[in-house]
Structure 1
Amino acid sequence: MTAPATAGAAAPVVSAFGVGKRYGPTVALADVSLTVRPGESHALVGRNGAGKSTLVSILTGLSKSDTGSVEFGGEPAPPLADRDGWRQKVACVYQHSTVIPQLTVAENLFLNRQSGKKFMISWNRLRRQARELLDSWGVDVDVDTLAGELSVEDRQFVEIARALSYGARFIVLDEPTAQLDSQAIERLFDRMRELQASGVTFLFISHHLHEVYEVCEAVTVLRDARHVLTAPVADLGRADLVAAMTGEQGGLSVRDAAERDPLEAGAPEALTVDNLSGDSFSGISFRLRKGEVLGLAGSNASGKHQLAETLYGLREPTEGIIKIDGVPLKPGSVPAALKAGIGCVPRDRHHQGLVLGMSIADNATLSVLDRLGPAGIASPSARGGNARAAIADYGVVAAGPDQPVSDLSGGNQQKVVLARALASDPRVVVLINPTAGVDVKSKEALLAVVDRVRAEGKAVLIVSDELDDLRLGDRVLVLRAGAVVAEHRAGWSDGDLVAEIEGVEIGD
């Protein structure tokens, strides 16, 4: 992708000058500046808690900075109360969709902007305008489809089209690839390039640094609420980028399973799966031994997530047997899985892993309340003591056990989810996308815990889209179209594994 030729002459699409923001004693941003040029894709990266979300809330008019200023095209940003003015300048497509699932695509596109006379909506005109809008930006979805039935990819395109319909040509993409498989990611990147050629500018936020190098021309790094650097992506090595984010030299430190001693021969089976079939998978069989890490790889359509959720009881299989330490597991029951000794980090921490309105102490002890007090009623001191131990053991950065988990960064929230999964001392640990949406150092900390529990003799199943997560595996099974198509021993190459996942052959 070529940087726009007018980048030096045209006014920046957006400029932030010396922006600062405090929430009580907490400094969320300190003297941060940002310049995004017309037609570029500009990455904003940093560890969780670095200040990215606060800066985005200021750039999109959701909050006001305490110091500094924001300009669009060289003109001051609209007043905070002028929502239409902000919509014409900037829009944000968040990781978690803001479309209303019960409404159609057309209704979502023109919510509160329906055309008609005397308070009556002209539905034919609404559908026609929606179709024209989607066609103009190359979005191929049915305008009468309920938004909740769309794929994650199509929901994102609808949200981008909605933003463009207000006149905004500056789009913030907040972790847009977190829930997409590799093919959908490539389609998103292709659409970004097409939109850039049409004059649209992107601020791209991602924890996947390889995506920054693939799709962005410039990158800005925040660390500890401060601006660290802005540079052309082509001029910044990956190790230097990680060092700017963390303040430390070097890249992600992940212990590859090939570098440790092989599993002892004859280690007993902890998890046995025989001919298991269910939603999106069929005929799956494998063995997982104590002290072993098994990876499950595949696209989002491979059935890997559904398989993992079936093992934990979130889904019921149509046939097959699951055994824990040789004892058959009651299918389709989370309580039965917990009782049998399975701990799980679910796929979506916000909707499945945490109760966001509750404290760290409440969340960290949800799986062991029966052990902390009679009839599952645990005293505040028991819950607090357990949570303080979890905060220390898992390196959760928090004010204390009573802090709401909603106040924590993504990495610290995920540490709380992992602490809860391991609180019951399970025999088998199922981890679904355990490092999704967390920064480099949080990822290292989470994977270090996984390696620790493996060394303690627990059996670990890692289901992930991240190759770094899968490197901990003694073996990696590749699923495609609901079936196991390959098995790779530790020491696999990225190219071989990705080729299996995508179903392509690497030439000699």
Structure 2
Amino acid sequence: MDPAPPVAEASGIVKRFDSTVALDDARIRVGQGQTHALVGRNGAGKSTLVAILTGLLTPDRGTVLFDGEPAPRPADRDAWRRRVACVYQKSTVIPELTVAENLFLNRLDRGRLGLVDWGRVRRDARDLLEKWSVEVDVRLPAKDLSIEQRQFVEIARALSFGARFVILDEPTAQLDAAAISRLFHRVEDLQRQGVTFLFISHHLQEVYDICDTVTVFRDARHVLTAPVAGLPRAELVAAMTGEAAAERRTVRHPPGPERATALRVDTLTADGSYAGVSLEIGAGEIVGLAGAAGSGRNEVAETVVGLRAADSGTVQIAGRRPRPGSVPAALAAGAGFVPRDRHQQGFVPQLSVADNSTLSVPHRIRSRGFLSARRRDSLTRSMITHLAIKTPGPELPVAGLSGGNQQKVVLARALADDPKLLVLINPTAGVDVRSKEFLLDKVEETAAAGTAVLLASDELDDLRVCDRVLVMLRGRVVATMAGGWDDHELVAAMEGVDLDA
């Protein structure tokens, strides 16, 4: 019997945008029932390949096959939806519509009078979610769903068109460890039901956790395809970067106990989020806040910078007590902030690199009472150089940058006013390996210059730069880990597991 053809196969793919070669003789072959990883640094060509596999772009040269048959004509969108679907890092659900409305958007059956039978729509929506084991109330507005629930709704919507090949584009970038585990269990369940996945991630451990095969792109070309089992992590990183992975040091040497206190949090409490949280960070020190789903780590960090207001307790930044729930007050007190979701909170896509980098520091670019474009661009150019932002100039819209460079712009704004305290939440989410290393190096460099750092994350690589890590569980600090901690001990504390039990 002939083996089943691959679910999707692209070969000899070439795509150029003016003088830029986005894909150069690229290829990928995704077998039936696999979870196949596609990895590579920003600019490697992953996004362009996804656009070609979903029919949004037409290659200049090369072929795309689904189940051994040629891809549909570009204009036949219904035929594409029946073959492939993509769940993007940035959600495509419409927040103001209900789950049911999102599931059947542009597919609502109308009766003879042109009216929609909403009762039937909700029943069909429940049946669809039940078929794919998604537990969500179809009457809820999508804006009330968690990021995880939105992803499951998008997967169910994609499968409702008949596609059994789903591309997951950075699906874990905004999820915590517990939600990632649930997503992976759902992917495995769907695999057993005949669904094939192309999994795109910058987190290499996830490739080993969930994928059968991995394909590496570098500099617009295919570099490697190999079974995940038996592929050493160092070889995978080397294929992505073109060089051996560098070792990060695990223990820093911050200033001594005589350093000034940059952040003091005293018995901070917010009902339903965290309770009795106290911590202190000295100038030049990096302190991590770690925890799994519902731990309160992100909420505490957001309270420090004024995105939230606590019910009780106090926050002092560089000796000043900013007004609770006020971001401008926290910034004026000396804080800089990198939020958890750069797309929603970090930048304005259509504004330039210069405008985004200086949004929070108008006082630094004024001249005679007016905002000075010359001062703005001068300040921006210095930050472009300092953070190695790849852009033709300050005037380029941030939407035109890669994910790693967008995150550098967000960091640039956080550092634009020489903060006494830098607060970061998931600072390397959705960026490639090299950008991740660069960003964490800059965090260490910033601390070495005397800035205190509060870093909230459940990414172990992020937390390794910390001098100590405070572990939160169900809204409370339950453990403090000194630098050089053991992975198993930290993860066990985050998940509430006693290794000695």
AA aligned opposite 2:262? A
Which stretch shows the higher mean deviation, 131-140 or 354-363? Answer: 131-140
Deviates more, 1:121-130 or 1:242-251: 121-130
- The answer to whether residue 262 in structure 2 is matched with residue 267 in structure 1 is no
How big is each residue's C-alpha offset from its partner over 1:343-386, in whole Å with a ceiling of 9 and x where there is no partner?
Answer: 11111111211111011111112222212223763322222221
2:324 to 312, 325, 331: 331
Residue type of the partner of 2:351?
Answer: M
Amino acid paired to 2:344: H
Partner of residue 372 from structure 1, selected from 332, 353, 365? 365
Shift of 1:327: 2.7
Alignment of 1:193-272 (within 5 A): 193-251=188-246, 253-256=247-250, 258=251, 260-272=252-264
Q: CA deviation at 1:127?
A: 2.0
1:487 paired residue number = 480
Q: Which residue of 2 aligns with 1:3?
A: none
1 CA distance for matches of 2:249 and 2:406? 23
Structure 2 matches for 1:98-497, cutoff 5 A? 98-118=92-112, 119-251=114-246, 253-256=247-250, 258=251, 260-278=252-270, 280-374=273-367, 377-497=370-490
Q: CA RMSD, aligned part only?
A: 1.6
Deviates more, 1:239-248 or 1:25-34: 25-34
SS at match of 1:243: helix
Q: Percent of aligned pairs with the same residue?
A: 59
Q: How many residues align?
A: 499
The SS at the match of 1:64 is coil
SS at match of 1:328: coil
Deviation digits for residues 226-246 of structure 1 (CA, Å, limit 9, x no counterpart): 111111111321000000110
Q: TM-score with structure 2 length normalisation? A: 0.96
**CA distance in 2 between partners of 1:128 and 1:346 (Å):** 38
Verify: 1:34 aligned to 2:24, yes or no: no
Corresponding residue SS for 2:43? coil
Instruction: Identify which range, 170-179 or 141-150, moves more after superposition.
Output: 141-150
Q: Does the C-alpha gap of structure 1 residues 376 and 112 become closer, same or farther in structure 2, counting only changes over 3 Å? A: farther
2-side partners of 1:475 and 1:376: how far apart? Answer: 44
1:199 shift after superposition: 1.0
Equivalent in the alignment of 1:11: 5
For 1:92, which of 83, 86, 91 is the aligned residue? 86
SS state at 2:229 partner = helix
Corresponding residue for residue 61 of structure 1: 55
Alpha-carbon contact 1:361-1:387 (below 8 Å) kept: yes
Residue by residue over 1:381-427, the C-alpha shift from the partner in whole angstroms, topping out at 9 and shown as x without a partner, is 22222111111111111111111111111111111111111110111
Q: Which amino acid aligns with 2:343?
A: H
Asked if structure 2 preserves the Cα contact closer than 8 Å seen for 1:254 and 1:447, the reply is no
CA contact (8 A) 1:177 1:185 kept: yes
Contact in 2 for aligned 1:431/1:462 (Cα 8 Å)? yes
Q: Quick check: 1:17–1:33 contact (8 Å CA) kept in 2? A: yes
Kindly provide the CA deviation profile for residues 16-48 of structure 1, in whole angstroms up to 9, marking residues without a partner as x: 111111122221111111110010000000111
Could you tell me how far apart the structure 2 residues matched to 1:417 and 1:409 are? 13
- Structure 1 gap ranges (5+): 1-5
Which SS does the other structure have where 1:234 is aligned?
A: coil
SS at match of 1:48: coil
The Cα of 1:179 is off from its aligned counterpart by 1.8
Distance 2:195 2:368 in 1: 58
Contact 2:254 2:285 in 1 (8 A): no
* SS across alignment from 1:335: helix
Q: CA deviation at 1:275?
A: 1.3
Could you tell me which amino acid in structure 2 is paired with residue 65 of structure 1? P
Q: Segments of 4+ in structure 1 off by > 6 A?
A: none
2:295, 2:472 within 8 Å by CA — same for their partners in 1?
yes
Bigger Cα displacement from structure 2, 272-281 vs 472-481: 272-281
Cα deviation per residue 1:420-474 (whole Å; 9 max; x = unaligned)?
A: 1111011111111111111111011111111111111111111112111111111
The structural deviation recorded for 1:115 is 2.5
Question: Would you say the 8 A contact 1:370–1:377 is kept in 2?
Answer: no
Distance in 1, Cα, partners of 2:410 & 2:89: 19
Aligned partner of residue 222 in structure 1, secondary structure: strand
* Partners of 1:107 and 1:350 in 2: CA distance: 24
Deviation at 1:262, TM superposition (A): 5.0
Q: Match of 1:44?
A: 38
Q: Report the AA paired with residue 25 of structure 1.
A: S
